[in-house]
């Protein structure tokens, strides 16, 4: 239900000259969260690494935390963003084809020296999975950080009304737990910046 007509393409187009007066026009504010949507389907869109650097420099000056929801196609700009990030989450479902694709992507990310930043999130897990968590980790070659239950009804309801998933549902509780783990400093670590 985002109504702002501006998107990532507009932000990248103006990245070199991004300032505090232009940025608020590009994003939709939802409480403490600013959202810049992906925009319409545009196979001709090319995002240059320099645009990503300008944009991330601006964002780091203005936000404590940044989150990028990437397509999974491993475009050049996605790789650039991953190199600029402290953590990379590889999302998959607990089905064999998804797990094998995730393993292939993880091996590619390892070849780019990103392996220390990558964690796995398993989405749409059933209560009685055919594949155990141990088997998932064995297939992927790295531990699973968190598993999110399949709750199509809650997700559908949230998307339909343009709101968050209800925090009282199992999925909502797991999302809250994940968010708290993201912002909680690791033992012995100092404060961290965005990225």
Percent of the chain residues past pLDDT 70, beyond the cut: 94
Summary mean pLDDT of the chain: 91
pLDDT at 185: 63
pLDDT at 79: 94
Q: pLDDT tens digits, residue range 19-60?
A: 999 999 999 998 899 999 888 888 888 889 899 999 999 999
- SS3 annotation, the chain: CCCCCCCHHHHHHCHHHCCCCCHHHHCEEECCEEECCCCCCCCCCCCCHHHHHHHHHHHHHHCCCCCCCCCCCCCHHHHHHHHHCCCEEEEECCCHHHHHHHHHHHHHHHHCCCHHHEEEEEEEECCCCCCCHHHHHHHHCCCEEEEEECCHHHHHHHHHHCCCCCCCCHHHHHHHHHHHHHHCCCCCCCCCCCC
Q: pLDDT tens digits, residue range 130-162?
A: 899 999 999 999 999 999 999 999 999 999 998
Distance CA(94)–CA(51), nearest Å, equals: 35
pLDDT at 186: 60
């Amino acid at each position: 239900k985002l109504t702002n007509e501006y998107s990532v393409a507009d932000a990248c187009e103006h990245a070199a000259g991004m300032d505090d007066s232009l940025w608020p026009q590009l994003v939709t504010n939802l409480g403490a969260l600013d959202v810049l949507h992906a925009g319409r389907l545009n196979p001709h869109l090319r995002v240059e690494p320099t645009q990503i650097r300008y944009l991330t420099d601006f964002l780091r000056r203005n936000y404590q935390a940044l989150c990028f929801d990437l397509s999974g196609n491993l475009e050049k700009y996605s790789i650039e963003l991953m190199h600029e990030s402290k953590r990379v989450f590889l999302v998959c479902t607990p089905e064999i084809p998804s797990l094998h694709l995730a393993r292939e992507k993880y091996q590619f990310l390892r070849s780019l020296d990103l392996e220390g930043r990558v964690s796995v999130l398993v989405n749409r897990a059933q209560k009685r999975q055919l594949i155990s968590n141990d088997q998932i980790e064995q297939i992927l070659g790295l531990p699973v950080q968190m598993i999110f239950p399949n709750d199509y009804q809650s997700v559908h309801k949230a998307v339909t009304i343009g709101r968050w998933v209800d925090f009282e549902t199992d999925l909502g509780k797991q999302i809250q737990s994940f968010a708290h783990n993201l912002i909680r400093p690791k033992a012995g670590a100092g404060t961290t910046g965005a990225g």
